[in-house]
Amino acid sequence: MQTIGILGGLGPEATVDYYKEIISGFNQLNTDGSLNYPEIVIYSVNMAKFIGLLEKEMYTEAADYIAASINKMKDAGAGFAAISANTPHLLFDEIQSKSRLPLISIVESCREAAVKAGVKRCGLLGTKFTMNNNFFGDVFAKKNIAVISPDPVQIAFIHRKLFSELEVGIFREDTKSDLLQIVEEMKIRDGIDSVILGCTEFPIMFTEAEYLGLPFLNTTRIHVKEIIQVCITD
């Protein structure tokens, strides 16, 4: 098995979830009861630093920061890496070009899951950086799948809730209800047939495969499945 590199800290709750999901996946593979777990290098970055660079639109510096952190995992023995957050994939191509490790894209992994699910109009929930940019839409469009973001007021609300609650480990039922109300409105207004949980904190809140009759694409679980496959194949 290759050593897995996980770029974490964006945020910490999702990083913990990634580790738990990887171990859970190997428990399912270890049908003989063995303790055959992969070696994992986790490098947790400073979230405030990265988000601050994005807020200032210092995208080159943000990509340099993430790529340099990934390269530290290369030095620690990782054979490949994954970023345990959706937002940095805004800069994925630039980060990959500066990384000494091959990276598994959460966006491309999610697109393939969407293809298998047969969906065509995905609602996207995430940070404002994710919802206001087209990196999901551009990748999904290659398979003729549309990605629709909420309206500007809803985007501001979701972003605020992410950074004031979910990113610091607060998961409230009223917030969950409010987010589902936004999904319901998008279902009626935009005709979405599925939802992309485009922030890796969302799967901690939305644990079911479906809500409101719509499949919810769990980007953490989808990404981890691909990480495990690469780990055991190469």
Strand partners, 218: 197
- So what's the pLDDT on residue 33? 84
Phi/psi of residue 214, each to 5°? -115, 140
Hey, what long-range contacts does 89-93 have (CB within 8 A, 24 or more apart)? 89/135, 90/54, 90/59, 90/129, 90/130, 90/133, 90/135, 91/59, 91/62, 91/63, 91/66, 92/135
Average pLDDT, the chain: 97
- So what's the pLDDT on residue 113? 98
Are 4-106+222-233 and 107-218 the same fold in CATH? yes
Q: Under CATH, what is the fold of the domain 4-106+222-233?
A: Rossmann fold (3.40.50)
pLDDT for 234 beyond 80: no
CATH architecture of the domain with range 107-218 = 3-Layer(aba) Sandwich (3.40)
- So what's the pLDDT on residue 120? 98
Q: Does pTM top 0.75 for this prediction? A: yes
Portion of the chain with pLDDT greater than 70, in percent: 100
Q: What is the pLDDT of residues 147-189, one digit of tens each?
A: 999 999 999 999 999 999 999 999 999 999 999 999 999 999 9
Confidence label for 139 from pLDDT (cuts 50, 70 and 90): very high
Are the CB atoms for 171 and 140 separated by under 8 Å?
Answer: no
Q: Which amino acid is it at 40? A: I
Hey, where are the domains in the chain? 4-106+222-233, 107-218
Q: What is the pLDDT of residues 116-127, one digit of tens each?
A: 999 999 999 999
